[in-house]
Amino acid sequence: MNHTYKSIVSLLPLHIMLWLSILFALAACDNNHNAGQQDEVLQTDSIAKVNQELVFGFPKEDYRMCSHTVKNNENIAEILGREGVSYSSILQLVEHAKGIFDVKKLRSHKPYHILYNKSDTSLQQAAYMVYEKDYTNYVVFHLKDSLQVWNKKKNIEYYYDTVSGTIQNSLWVSLQEQGANVEIANELSEIYGWTIDFFGIQKGDSYQVLCENILADGDTLGLHRIIASRFTHIAQNLSKSSFALQTYQL
């Protein structure tokens, strides 16, 4: 602060100096408030992006998805040709796919999905094709601009569930009546195959099963393994634990 400014400030009446001080303080508070609002908006946007629902890694709200299955003897050129992808682009995609996915391995009845970007008002030009190789792995074809191909894996999670009941008719019916996975009946017959005749189980027999189920991108695939089980059959109390089913390729 120079001497001239000091002298001018010293000549100002006290009430004006007080008013200026209050004005500057209010301006500082307003700036802090606006900065806080901006931070809050940015934080809210970040949370929204984290929590948005994804489909094959893409924001669901940004894409319209049409699901199909590969027809008998259908190939990648026929599928993409129907979506308006040029023959030259298809050849480039096939070239890019080398070492990632053999397009000749498209299998009949396997699911695939075409994604259209909702920002494209016509929704005529496909943006991506997703081909599901198995329950957890899929390949993505980027059909616009820079043509690309890459492999992806669904997010795999596990959850535990306890199923128990007393048989009135059959084990399969008992599981079905309580909305449990009837695959448990097959697995228990394998586990106790040498100790229990499952064609001879009787009314009053009971069971308790601790299951580990598998989720892929939030969708239940089914029973992954039986961790522990107890089956009471004609006064026999039989227990088993840790049986891996290895049903799904992860």
**How does residue 123 score in pLDDT terms, banded at 50, 70 and 90?**
low
**CA–CA distance, 195 with 189 (Å, rounded to integer):** 10
d(CA 57, CA 169): 45
d(CA 151, CA 99): 10
Q: What's the pLDDT tens digit per position in 15-34?
A: 455 554 654 555 555 555 55
- Tell me the pLDDT of the chain averaged across its residues: 79
The pLDDT assigned to 154 comes to: 92
- At position 242, the amino acid (one-letter code) is S
Residue 219: which pLDDT band, with cuts at 50, 70 and 90? confident
Q: Which residues touch 23 (CB under 8 Å, ≥6 apart)?
A: none
Give 247's pLDDT tier (boundaries 50, 70, 90). Answer: very low
pLDDT at 41: 47
B/e letters for 75-98, b = 16+ CB within 10 Å, e = fewer, are ebeebbeeeebeeeebebbbebbe
Band of pLDDT at residue 7, cut at 50, 70 and 90? very low
Rounded to two decimals, the pTM is: 0.63
Q: Give the Å distances, CA to CA, from 47 to 50, 53, 54.
A: 5, 12, 14
Closest by Cα among 244, 245, 172 to 205: 172
Contacts of 152 (CB under 8 A, 6+ apart): 56, 57, 137, 138, 139, 140
pLDDT in tens, 146-200: 899 999 999 889 999 999 999 998 899 999 998 888 899 888 888 887 888 878 8
92-116 pLDDT per residue, tens: 999 999 999 999 999 999 999 999 9
